[in-house]
Every structure is written in C-alpha cells, then in structure tokens.
C-alpha cells in the first residue's frame, strides 16, 4: 500500500527556469515520510519521546520532469524494507499520471544520543501496511 500526500508548489520554490527547484523535491519527499510516520503514530515527537531518531544515511533522487508554481503534486511513499537497524523508503512525486521525480532513501534508527539501535517496539508492525513493491524501479 502507498501513503499519499498532496503538496501545492509555491512560487518561492521556483528556480530561474520556472521549475520547482531540485532542493524542494527533496524537502517534499521528507515531508511525505514524516506524514507517513505521523499516520502510524510514530511522528518525530513520539519517536523522540521513546528515545529514538531516524537518520538519513543515503539519498538517490532522479528528476524526470519539472513541476511549476501552482501545480499540486502527490508524493507517494512506501517502505522498501525494514531491517533490525535500517530502513529503505521508496518515493515518487506525481502530477496526475506523470512521474516527476523518484527517490530512494536509506535510513538508520538511533537512540537520541546517536548510537545505532533496533527499531522501537511495535514500529515494524505499524509500518508494515506500507511495505510494498508498488514503487519498484523508483
């Protein structure tokens, strides 16, 4: 199953070519991952309260087609895999049927002191509804 989150492109995110700036795509992907986490009860405040952080260890983004000011785009997110300490998130940004960008994010679970640790109790079960192959090739 995919988690979907809509975002309207704002004029100040546009680059000199009248395209959504590449850095904004990365922010959109981040916003959508946080929205997914909040939807399963593991938002950033909840994770911190439990003594955990999720830190990004790698990002691979492909830009396929530009978004423009005023467009509403949909960011789709799924969990590619969850291991004891790491997770992979696969995402894409669509405008209608057109895929504008894809991203694969590798992340690790840490304690709030930065030391790697296993996922919080219950996290894997909660996020399992978003495990999938829908974005294979993202």
- Residue 114 confidence class, pLDDT cut points 50, 70, 90: very high
Domain of 93, CATH number, reads: 3.10.129.10
Please state the domain count of the chain.
Answer: 1
**Would residue 13 count as lying in a domain?**
yes
Radius of gyration of the chain (CA): 15
Question: What tokens were used for 136?
Answer: 């294979």
**Would residue 70 count as lying in a domain?**
yes
pLDDT at residue 136 is higher than 60? no
Mention every residue, 6+ apart, whose C-beta is less than 8 A from residue 68.
9, 14, 18, 19, 20
**Would residue 58 count as lying in a domain?**
yes
- Domain range for residue 10? 3-130
C-alpha 133/C-alpha 119 separation (Å) is 21
**Would residue 136 count as lying in a domain?**
no
**Would residue 43 count as lying in a domain?**
yes
Query: How does pLDDT run across 12-30, given as a tens digit for each residue?
Result: 999 999 999 999 999 999 9
- Residue 134 confidence class, pLDDT cut points 50, 70, 90: low
Reference 1, options 76, 74, 65, 54; nearest CA is 76
**pTM, to two decimals:** 0.92
**Would residue 111 count as lying in a domain?**
yes
Query: How does pLDDT run across 30-88, given as a tens digit for each residue?
Result: 999 999 999 999 999 999 999 999 999 999 999 999 999 999 999 999 999 999 999 99
CA atoms within 13 A on the CB side of 39: 16
**Would residue 83 count as lying in a domain?**
yes
Give alpha helix (H) positions in the chain. Answer: 22-39, 44-49, 123-127
Q: What is the pLDDT of residue 138?
A: 54
């Amino acid at each position: 199953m995919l988690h979907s989150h809509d975002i309207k492109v704002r004029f100040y995110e546009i680059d000199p070519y009248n395209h959504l700036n590449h850095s904004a795509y990365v922010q959109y992907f981040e916003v959508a991952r946080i929205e997914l986490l909040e939807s399963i009860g593991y938002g950033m405040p909840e994770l911190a309260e439990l003594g955990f952080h999720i830190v990004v260890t790698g990002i691979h983004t492909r830009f396929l087609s530009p978004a423009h000011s005023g467009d509403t785009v949909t960011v789709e997110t799924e969990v590619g895999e969850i291991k004891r300490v790491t997770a992979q998130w696969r995402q894409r940004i669509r405008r209608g049927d057109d895929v504008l960008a894809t991203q694969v994010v590798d992340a690790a679970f840490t304690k709030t002191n930065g030391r790697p640790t296993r996922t919080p109790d219950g996290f894997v079960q909660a996020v399992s509804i978003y495990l999938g192959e829908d974005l294979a090739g993202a």
